[in-house]
Structure 1
Amino acid sequence: MFAIERRQRIKDILVKEKRIDVCNLSENFQVSEVTVRRDLDKLEQEGFLIKTYGGAVLNEEHSTPIAYTDNLETPEEEKKLIAKIGAQMINEGDAVFLGPGSTILEIVKLIKHNRMTVVTNDLLVALELKDCNETKVVVTGGDLIQSSSILVGQIAQKLIQDIYLNKVFISVKGVDLDSGYTVDSYEEAMLIKQILSITKEVIIVADYTKFNKTAFARLGSFNIAKKVISNKQIPSEYKKFFFENNIKLYTTYELE
């Protein structure tokens, strides 16, 4: 569980229980008490809680239970939580591909000051990074898909042939047990398939609204990636499938 997930879980517990104990949280999350105390320090700085001896209590003046009930997060808020998980997977010095998509753009905003190399076929990603001196940005070039910021085609594919990447982040438009992963255009699918062959780690990014949906072009079956980042709201049958097929699922909340 990432720090952002752990802190959100602490918030949920506090809303329900009004108080928490460092020792119990350490056992439940399987982290050190020092780590838990750091989480509490962060949440106290946000004004969410008040630290006490051995734990913390909810700051009633700052927090209201309704703000943290399960079904009130908007898709945009959920995308930002996904982005925080994705950003923590990127290390200094990595060479990564960051494809199109609003969720990936949120990842870019969080890692834009890292010393790294970013390869992208999305003009919006490149523009977000244009003033980042520590980040080397490589744009594939290619044909612009009409009414989008996405570059595809032979020019993009030619550049991809001659590089190697540590990690590839792919945002998909559909996730379906029968269709696998799908995207909006055939040209985009062809480019992504080529990108998958030049990396050792593929990470699928898909918020919960993409599940049980199929877009126009098939990208591949679920076995093209061993890591998936999504939200706690995804259907239970997908959680079960990922677990049984040794695909690591990272969600914005503890798995049910």
Structure 2
Amino acid sequence: MSIKRKKHIMELLQQQGTLEIAELTEHFQVSSMTIRRDLDQLENEKKLIRTYGGATLAHPLKSERSFSDKQLEMLEQKQQIAEYAIPFIQPGMTLLLDSGTTTLEIAKRLSDIEQLTVVTNDIQIAAILMNSKLDVYLLGGRVQNDVGAVFGNHAEEMLKELHVDLFFLGAHAIHPSFGITAPTIEKAALKRVMIRAAEQVYLVADTSKFNQKAFAKVCDLSSINGIITDDSLPQEIYTQYNELAELKKVVKK
């Protein structure tokens, strides 16, 4: 029974991120001492981290890597996501593109869309669109070395004066309980301002971003209109995220 209970505890942690001893004792109908013993054993096995009155997953926070490191990683999946995303864009729209290698793939496919205005905080995306006929606005602010993302107060203030039809949000990590997270407080703050500036917000993220956590929270999954991901997402994860919010849908082919 102890082995089955501990396995079930880990399944619950994967779903919720954190657990309280009180809810586990009620769930399993055992004593708090039994649950504490199970949690202590799981911590010794480095499967979780004990907290005051409960436990949390032991997975480390996902850290950020350079543009060159990320550019070719999951490239086929990112290209697939970009192909899924393009039909959301209509001629004459104002489009906001977050920084990232997935949104860069979307930018590569925009040149044939007429009367499109693009706003971005990514110098790589601005460079890709430099020779197009699109109207392109690059947010001002601090440029992150090795990544090419622009962030800070200047970028946020410029965004507060704008209103866009559609925003493709990039994510460093996505979790069913913790929502969408970014590697720094400054990046999370800018993403929140971007969300407020848009009529519709779609998260674009490959399967490696799911069930992960980064340092700073951007928003809950219910704050966006949908998620566009690649078709290698496992069915159980697809089902889990697709049921989290009424307006959120994982696009999977």
TM-score scaled by structure 1?
0.66
* Structure 2 gap ranges (5+): 1-72
The aligned residue for residue 250 of structure 1 is 251
Task: Check the 8 A contact 2:119/2:137 in 1, yes or no.
Answer: yes
The aligned residue for residue 105 of structure 1 is 104
TM-superposition CA deviations, 1:71-119 (whole Å, max 9, x none): xxx8211111110011111110110100111111111111123220000
Task: Check the 8 A contact 2:94/2:166 in 1, yes or no.
Answer: yes
Does residue 197 of the first structure (1) align with residue 213 of the second (2)?
A: no
The aligned residue for residue 125 of structure 2 is 125
Q: State the alpha-carbon separation in 2 of the partners of residues 138 and 85 from structure 1.
A: 24
TM-superposition CA deviations, 1:32-91 (whole Å, max 9, x none): xxxxxxxxxxxxxxxxxxxxxxxxxxxxxxxxxxxxxxxxxx821111111001111111
Paired residue total: 178
The aligned residue for residue 163 of structure 1 is 162
Q: State the alpha-carbon separation in 1 of the partners of residues 184 and 101 from structure 2.
A: 16
Residue aligned with 2:181, SS:
strand
Q: CA deviation at 1:191?
A: 0.8
Structure 1 segment 14-163 matched on structure 2, within 5 A: 75-114=74-113, 115-133=115-133, 135-163=134-162
TM-superposition CA deviations, 1:191-242 (whole Å, max 9, x none): 1101111211000011001111112221111111121001233241442342
Q: State the alpha-carbon separation in 2 of the partners of residues 131 and 233 from structure 1.
A: 34
Task: Check the 8 A contact 2:176/2:244 in 1, yes or no.
Answer: no
Q: Which amino acid aligns with 1:119?
A: V
RMSD: 1.5
Does residue 179 of the first structure (1) align with residue 178 of the second (2)?
A: yes
The aligned residue for residue 216 of structure 1 is 215
Q: State the alpha-carbon separation in 1 of the partners of residues 245 and 159 from structure 2.
A: 29
TM-superposition CA deviations, 1:109-156 (whole Å, max 9, x none): 1112322000000000100000012x1000111011232201111111
Q: State the alpha-carbon separation in 2 of the partners of residues 232 and 113 from structure 1.
A: 25
Q: State the alpha-carbon separation in 2 of the partners of residues 240 and 142 from structure 1.
A: 37
Q: State the alpha-carbon separation in 1 of the partners of residues 152 and 138 from structure 2.
A: 13
Residue aligned with 1:111, SS:
coil
Task: Check the 8 A contact 2:241/2:250 in 1, yes or no.
Answer: no
TM-score scaled by structure 2?
0.67
Percent identity over the alignment is 26
Q: Which amino acid aligns with 1:225?
A: I
